[in-house]
Amino acid sequence: MVGLTLKNKEKKASARNLRRKPRWGETIIQALLFFSGFFSIFTTLGIVYELGKEALLFFQMPEVNLLASLTTTEWKPHIGKFGIWPLVTSTMMTTLIAMTIAIPLGMSVAVYLSEYASPRVRNLLKPVLEVLAGIPTIVYGYFALTFMTPILREIFGRDVVQIYNTGSAGLVMGILILPLITSMTEDALSAVPRSLREAAYGMGATKLEVALQVVVPAALSGIAAAVIVGVSRAIGETMIVAVAAGAGPNFTLNPFVGAETITGHVVRISGGDLSYDSIDYNSIFALGLLLFFITLVLNIVSQMIVRRFREVYE
């Protein structure tokens, strides 16, 4: 009888010991970690809320009319003209010029690195690309203004090419984006399994045919994502255009004259002490919100492409 109760007691005690104990330290730490993880949501909410709030104030100002700003082609805040197109066209133009440089060059380099280069050459070249990618953009701005612009002016004539022009900013932006596109494309190409290449060689394909007709199509989703990320980067790029593309919005498609991009405009008017609640102050929030949404959509599209169209190999 006594033995039985003892046994029961032991059973109870061991059951209690195995039960999960509340560990307050662990819980607090976990809460802190969750807060850290959640912190980035605050950043996004902060961007959407603050930028949205001030942008709304901007559109409520009597001088500003959303319809007019989408349909007119003059951005002159001091006389109350807020046509967004001059800023948008010059942004599109620098981006276009940058991508015409960066896409073909970046892909050629990526194909060369992943399909042709020996491991030694690759180990030599990849650091070069990493260095290019690590140089601050203001240095590229200096490069555009003091190197690319004089070259353009030599080639096309000094009276054709202005000192500040979107062409030289776009070209240098292409060099800036080149390493980004190269490394993303090369990652996509290297992820294509060896067996596909071997099969193509087995059919008698040349090296080029394997690269362009087998490997590149198989990696197309990754390449498309690289291009989109490159475009998004070019649209948001600031210092090159702030230094080299010129001050003052200009509705033109001529790459040899100065024209201000969205980012360049924000930097110029916010340099110096901008007074709160002025129309300039509110306008940079509207422009920032525009940039945020353009790049957000591009990034989401690029992630969707990767997820939807990725060829999964074993």
Partner 1 sequence: MKEIWIVQGFANNLNLRNRIGTVWYVIFQASTIVGIIALIALLFNVIDGSFGYVAYEAKVDPDTLAVDGVPVEAQSKEQLVSLLQSSLSSGAYNKLENEKPFESRSREGVYQLVVERIIRPQIVAVWKLWPSLTQADEIRATVAQDFPQAELDFVSWLTYDFVSRPQTSEPLTAGVRTAILGSLWTILFTILLAFPIGVGAAIYLEEYAFDNWLNRIIQTNINNLAGVPSIVYGILGLAIFVRALEPLTSGKMFGLVNLTSENGRTVLSAGLTLGLLVLPIIIINAQEAIRAVPQSLRKASYGVGATKWQTVWSHVLPNAMPGILTGTILAISRAIGETAPLVVVGASTAISFDPSSPFSKFTTLPIQIYQWTSRPQDEFRSLAAASILVLLVLLLSMNASAVLLRNRFSRRF
Footprint (CB under 8 A) of partner 1, residues 78-97: none
Q: Specify the residue, 68 or 96, whose C-beta has the smaller distance to partner 1.
A: 96
Chain centroid, CA 193 distance in Å: 28
Rule CB under 8 A: which of 190-229 touch partner 1?
A: 204, 206-209, 212, 229
Please name which of 234, 143, 134, 138 lies closest in space to residue 183, comparing C-alpha atoms.
Answer: 134
**Both tokens of residue 99?**
């991508």
Residue 138 CB, shortest distance to partner 1, in Å, is: 5
Q: Is 304 in the site for partner 1 (CB under 8 A)?
A: no
Nearest CA to 310 out of 240, 217, 231 is that of 217
Please pick, from the candidates 61, 105, 191, 224, the single residue that binds partner 1 as defined by CB under 8 A.
Answer: 105
Rounded to an integer, what distance in angstroms lies between the CA atom of residue 301 and that of residue 224?
A: 10
**Judged by CB, which is closer to partner 1: 68, or 212?**
212
Sole binder of partner 1 in the list 98, 239, 245, 257 (CB under 8 A): 239
Residue with tokens 């198989």: 218
Give the binding range for partner 1 (CB under 8 A) out of 44-52, 154-162, 184-192, 219-227.
44-52
Determine the Cα–Cα distance for residues 144 and 245; give it in Å rounded to an integer: 9
Residue 56: CB partners within 8 Å, gap ≥ 6? none
Length reported for the chain: 314
Of 50, 63, 154, 198, the one binding partner 1 (CB under 8 A) is 50
Residue with tokens 């930097």: 267
User: How far is 313 from 311, CA to CA, in rounded Å?
Assistant: 6
- Contact between 146 and partner 1 by CB under 8 A: the answer reads yes
Which residues are registered as beta bridge partners of 81? 76
Binding window for partner 1 (CB under 8 A); candidates: 7-15, 34-42, 67-75, 153-161: 34-42
- Answer for which of 11, 23, 76, 158 binds partner 1 (CB under 8 A) is 23
Indicate the residue among 7 and 34 with the shorter CB distance to partner 1.
Answer: 34
Compare residues 186 and 218 and give the one whose CB is closer to partner 1.
186
Q: How far is the CB of 95 from partner 1 (least distance, A)?
A: 12
